[in-house]
Chains A and B, each alone.
Chain A
Amino acid sequence: MKILPTLEGGLCILPESEVDWDELQLICSDDERPTYLAESLADLMDDDSEWGEYVVPDLEEGFRNQTRFVDATIKRARQSGEPAIFIPPVEAERWYGALNQVRLSLQASYDVEELDEASDLNDWEPELKSAYFRNRFYLLLQSMLLEFIMNKAE
């Protein structure tokens, strides 16, 4: 898979195999992720703030909009046989948000940021190895969104 900046100030993702497309579709594979994230943020607030009642539904809807948008973009491109996915500047924040959700989820489940790269990857369980590489890939995509789009928009 290649990721390139475009002349119009966005990014272009070029999947090179079905595995690459699968990897992209995994960004939005968990329908419960927006709910979990909104509730985990509410846990940081005092109970008397009534965050769960008044704020969590809006947060959840916002997070769900990000994942729905990215999911629809990837599926549409894959089903119509397009060779690339374009991320124009106006869509960068929704992509970044969806990627952040999946990275927060991988961190919560596998503590991926604490995994020691120096250790022998062959000793890792396949699920852990997959989580580690997915996190690295999504991190790279986020870094490119920041470098080529979001930092320039400031």
Chain B
Amino acid sequence: MPKTTPDTQKKQQTLKQSDVPWNVVVLNDPVNLQAYVAIVFKKVFGYSQAKAETLMMEVHTQGRSVVWTGGREKAELYVQQLHSWQLQTTMQKAE
């Protein structure tokens, strides 16, 4: 005998899916200037100059950087903001 009803199982699955953290990933491109990318990180996330520069250098040297991790809705909002600043950005489920 199952311990939960199908409805409860569905709710738990939905809860699990919405609980999965998402990464906001910024990709390198040859056009956006390094100083500009750091300024955008500070404006969008409120990061310090040091953290913004570290993430910017990660994008530059490794081709990508996970700049934020958290709930899906907030991740989508951040991606939208980064797109509005013309940064190549996507989001992926965190492993």
A residues contacting B by CB (< 8 A) are 37-38, 41, 44-45, 49, 55, 58-59, 62-63, 96-97, 100-101, 103-104, 107, 113-114, 139, 142-143, 146, 150-151, 154
Contacts and interface: CB of A to CB of B under 8 A. Distances in A.
A132 to B, nearest CB: 13
Contacts of B91: 45
A59 B85 CA distance: 9
By DSSP majority rule, is chain B's interface helix, strand, loop, or mixed?
mixed
B12 interface: no
By DSSP majority rule, is chain A's interface helix, strand, loop, or mixed?
helix
Given A55-B80, A62-B84, 19 more contacts: A41-B86, A41-B88, A41-B89, A44-B88, A44-B89, A63-B86, A96-B36, A97-B85, A97-B86, A100-B86, A101-B86, A104-B31, A107-B30, A114-B30, A146-B33, A146-B36, A151-B35, A154-B42, A154-B49
A51 B79 CA distance: 10
Interface of B: 27, 29-33, 35-36, 39, 42, 49, 76, 79-80, 83-86, 88-91
Nearest to A142: B33
B35 A146 contact: yes
Q: Which of A38, A58, A63, A104 has the most CB of B within 10 A?
A: A104
Top-5 shortest CB links A-B:
A113-B30, A44-B90, A41-B83, A103-B31, A146-B35
Nearest to A150: B39
A37 B35 contact: no
17 contacts: A37-B86, A44-B27, A44-B90, A45-B90, A45-B91, A58-B80, A59-B80, A59-B83, A100-B31, A100-B32, A100-B36, A104-B86, A107-B31, A146-B33, A146-B35, A146-B36, A151-B35
A142 B39 CA distance: 13
Contact of A49 (B29, B49, B76, B85): B76
Contacts of A154: 39, 42, 49
A114 B29 CA distance: 12
Contacts of B33: 139, 142-143, 146
A40 to B, nearest CB: 9
